[in-house]
Structure 1
């Protein structure tokens, strides 16, 4: 009897929230990796479906298909329901997979039904399921429901906090997003790369330039290496506030070639402040980058 290992990456900018789920059920070794909410699937879905159709169907084979179908909510829900009809028991993976499918298309009605079912089966107490519920409700713009789930989690992890910070920031409640960032450490949870993206984005949208710079320097002091997304947030932070020279100098001083997120941040600032010349530079640079990527592919 071998172990089946599944790594599920939550749909975040950095794709860093990783859950390791382990089963010891299948008589052969199988490993796969899925990026939920992403178009990048790291295995052949058709092959997985063919294996499922040919093999003896059990909980593990159903879970594999449920997780793989997160971009097809109706199919994921169908498989989840089939498990009940076939007398099979759901586990954490089943709930995480189907909730992620609902979150992908903001299917709140179906998500609420799965949530109620999880409560009846006591799976809502599992951290991975709770985090999936947070992701669902924030994407459905029901931060009130997210907060209820969040407050009920006894041992919150960094993914729990990041989801709430991103959710509040996305809905424009910037001060609450920043307050939650500050509260993380008080709860004994250390900030990670995604945490800083979330708070820098909130600072940018709120015009809090000095606070954003402070958080960025704090990140560097904690030896968290800035990514393209962090720099895009810092360009946006300066650009939205009209500090176009600072934004430009930041881009020209980057330790790597700016990606589309960085150029989009500058282009948005130029559009906001009517800077045609700088906007043309950003637009052309972004076009050249996209063209070169298409050529490489």
Structure 2
């Protein structure tokens, strides 16, 4: 029933289900309460979601995550960050997924400084950054219009950017009117995943091809011992284009 409420976003029906559960012997069940939090979040009523959360006799990691997700998806990233702080104060240790959600909340609020601090603090918990974390940092910088910093962030990290990274950077370049960045990202995206390239952007001027080749070659050197095959293949494609 709760799945139905989430799918149709029928808040009134969801409240009736909630009332039934509240009077049942299952009202203290963690997973049922988590489902209620998720339902109210999807229906856009975080006040009731918070009520459910506050009344829970016990919580698990999903409880915290659902609150962070709910606030973020309903445009209240700052509230999501407060929940994260509350979670740490309650003695719950953040996980890799937790930080991905927190970085998404920072991206929603364009909270660059706080987002970068959270990203760096992952090391304190022994959490290794994944592509999901990198992507969220790029979203933070991109939403805030700090496109040079987003490029520098990509170039400074020993990871092989996937096509989603360049697609995001291209889109941010378009949103913020940075045509040069849009074209550079488009060039790299076209090599890694031609299906995502914009038809009227191809072919691009030789100068931009050479820039893309240089960037890919540099990334190959950095990631030499980290399975750089995708970049080398893209590099060869670019060189064949440049003649």
TM-score, length of structure 2 as denominator length: 0.71
Q: Deviations over 1:14-47 (max 9, x none)?
A: xxxxxxxxxxxxxxxxxxxxxxxxxxxxxxxxxx
User: Between Structure 1 and Structure 2, which shows a larger proportion of helix residues?
Assistant: 2
Distance in 2, matches of 1:139 and 1:282, equals 34
Q: Which residue of 1 aligns with 2:29?
A: 126
Q: Which structure 2 residue ranges, 5 or more long, are not aligned? A: 197-243
Structure 1 gaps of 5+ residues are 1-97
Q: Per-residue deviation at 1:292?
A: 7.6
**What CA distance in whole angstroms lies between the structure 1 residues aligned with 2:30 and 2:175?**
41
The match for 1:32 is: none
Q: Partner residue of 2:38? A: 135
Q: What is residue 54 of structure 1 aligned with on the other side?
A: none
Flag the 1:125–1:285 CA change in 2: closer, same or farther, 3 A: farther
Correspondence for 1:248: 151
CA contact (8 A) 1:115 1:124 kept: no
Distance 1:139 1:262, change over 3 A: farther
Aligned to 1:258: 161
CA distance 1:142–1:283, shift in 2 (3 Å):
farther
Residue 177 in structure 1 maps to residue 75 in structure 2: no
Q: Distance in 1 between matches of 2:164 and 2:78?
A: 24
Shift of 1:116: 2.5
Closer, same or farther in 2 for the Cα pair 1:146/1:238, shift >3 Å? same
Which residue of 2 is the match for residue 228 of structure 1?
A: 131
Q: 1:102 and 1:290 mapped to 2: Cα distance? A: 38
Structure 2 partner of 1:276:
179
Tell me the distance in 2 between the aligned counterparts of 1:145 and 1:136.
10
Alpha-carbon shift at residue 264 of structure 1 (Å): 4.3
More strand by share: 1
Higher relative contact order (CA 8 A, sep 6+): 2
1:209 Cα offset (Å): 1.4
Contact 1:270 1:276 in 2 (8 A): yes
| CA distance in 2 between partners of 1:200 and 1:100 (Å) | 27
Residue 105 of structure 1 deviates from its aligned partner by: 4.2
Contact 1:233–1:265 at 8 Å: present in 2 too?
no
- 2-side partners of 1:221 and 1:148: how far apart? 32
* Match 2:109 to one of 195, 206, 224: 206
Aligned to 1:187: 90
Name the counterpart of 1:112.
15
Contact 1:240–1:272 under 8 Å retained in 2? no
| Secondary structure of the corresponding residue to residue 113 of structure 1 | helix
